[in-house]
Structure 1
Amino acid sequence: MAFRRILTALGKNGPSVETVVETPEVRPGGMLRCAVTAVGGAADADIERIGLELVVRAEDHEFDRAAWKHPYTVATADFDGFRLAAGETVTRHVEMQVPWEMPLTHGRGEAIPGGRAAVRTRLAVDKAVDQGDFDEIQVHALPAQDAILQAYADLGFRMHEAEVKIGLLKQAPNMRARQTAKYWQEIDLYFPESSEWARHELETVFIAREDSLDAHPGGNPPARFVYADLDQAAWTESLDRHLKRLYIV
């Protein structure tokens, strides 16, 4: 499966570029693969640079709650320019590692409201820079993240939405300890209907790594989970104990 779109054409008979996202579904820590094809126009052109950016919707960058006009870049991949002859077709294959702390668009196989990610192509040709367009992709939760989301569901929490924030976590020093990215994603869930907190939301932040992750509920110290120890029932019980130390749920 791939997304195809002509991203830019500089001038009526100028060169164009097409990006094919070869892995439109990825996970944190995985590899995003794209094929970028430049097609020459009526005259020779100097392609100075083609860059790919992995971008997400960040709440801090938008003025409208539903808008996605100012995407935030979380990873980049560039390749050197080349001379593109008139009518010539040149294809470059690009790989980009998805950050471990990559914001999610999907959890438990379902879209998370507010979660959006895309690949944006930028083209610099003959001293002109075109911002290109972006092709949306799906970022699915790691098995461990799915297990935590399933634990929340089993405990009666209800998914609301997700938001990406820019910067380092400031609510609690313990939350900053293992964060390496200059952004984080809050996944907002409603407390169980039976809880005295039922009308409130619980914001959970995942800080994922290669072998483990921290789940920070509501700006509090994390519950930590090691991937090799994944056990749904045990993790649900562990999360339940952790939350009961913080809230009456």
Structure 2
Amino acid sequence: MAFRKFLSALGVSAPSVETVVENPRVGPGGTLRLVVTAVGGGADVDIERVRLDVVVRAEDLEYNDKTAWEHPYTVVTVDLDGFRLPAGETVTVRGEVVLPWEMPLTHALGAPITGGRAAVRTELEVDKAVDQGDFDEIEVHALPAQDAILQAYTDLGFRLREAEVKIGFLPELAPRMESRQTESCWQEIDFFFPESVNWGLEELETVLIAREDSLDAHPGGFPPATFVYDELDQQAWTEKLEEHVRAHWQPAHG
């Protein structure tokens, strides 16, 4: 999980920079630990700033390809102090990035989610010019409570199709969602309806808004059901989710 980027603007003997994510498997609310190593080239250089961005694939920014990864959306940014890089010498700096509780997932129930991608991107500012490094992809695994909700859908006969990150705030999409969202993006997880249930639609879109102690599960564009982590009970949560989904969808869709 590392990349090497040469600062070509500085000449043939430019310094090389490598960023390593020490724990590339993490969950929402977790902390990424990173090591940035710079090796000096043929001249002394002032690295004015090191920026670490955690980025995700956002559907709004990828218009032509369902798997494109060309215009990632920045979820969180940390700036590290700059430093003097003498010619031929090595300087190593460490950094940490705390992920928000609402961080989009790439993995759930022990498997990758189609459409879920996240990475760390490193930017260096040298002589007022920004050099953007490659992506170092990471895995963002579901919290136990998130896995429990997704397992509940599975137990009810729904089949997970894919996930998409949308930019903005849920109330802009549907004020009735009564969202407690704090981040400026959300992840929509799409399920196929059970074949045994004819509700007039092929898919159910669900949004999970997580916090430190609880999460909200929004079925479609409707208000959420809240689940408290300390009360995790798979059977009880499955029953609660089914009741909530049916309360909003069954009357309208058959």
Residue number in structure 2 paired with 1:5: 3
Flag structure 1 segments of 5+ consecutive residues without an equivalent: none
Distance 1:177 1:201 in 2: 21
Does the CA contact (< 8 Å) of 2:6 and 2:14 recur in 1?
A: no
Count of aligned positions: 247
Distance 1:168 1:128 in 2: 33
Mapping of residues 95-106 of structure 1, within 5 Å: 95-106=96-107
Q: Larger % of helix: which?
A: 2
How big is each residue's C-alpha offset from its partner over 1:197-235, in whole Å with a ceiling of 9 and x where there is no partner? 375110000110000000000010111100000011110
Distance 2:160 2:117 in 1: 16
Task: Indicate the SS of the match to 1:131.
Answer: strand
Does the CA contact (< 8 Å) of 1:103 and 1:115 recur in 2?
A: yes
Residue number in structure 1 paired with 2:199: 197
- Give the CA deviation at 1:174: 4.6
Flag structure 2 segments of 5+ consecutive residues without an equivalent: none
Provide TM-score, normalisation by structure 1.
0.95
How big is each residue's C-alpha offset from its partner over 1:62-86, in whole Å with a ceiling of 9 and x where there is no partner? 1222211000000011112111100
Residue number in structure 1 paired with 2:242: 240
Provide TM-score, normalisation by structure 2.
0.94
How big is each residue's C-alpha offset from its partner over 1:148-188, in whole Å with a ceiling of 9 and x where there is no partner? 00000000000101000101112333535311011001000
1:15 aligns with 2:15: yes
- Give the CA deviation at 1:131: 1.3
Residue number in structure 1 paired with 2:41: 41
Residue number in structure 2 paired with 1:50: 50
- Give the CA deviation at 1:121: 0.4
Distance 2:174 2:129 in 1: 45
Distance 2:225 2:6 in 1: 46
Question: Which is further off, 4-13 or 78-87?
Answer: 4-13
Distance 1:60 1:196 in 2: 30
Distance 1:95 1:171 in 2: 33
Superposition misfits of 4+ residues, deviation over 6 angstroms: none
Aligned CA-pair RMSD: 1.4
The percentage of counterpart residues that share the same residue type is 67
Task: Indicate the SS of the match to 1:82.
Answer: strand
Distance 2:133 2:50 in 1: 10
Distance 2:249 2:93 in 1: 53
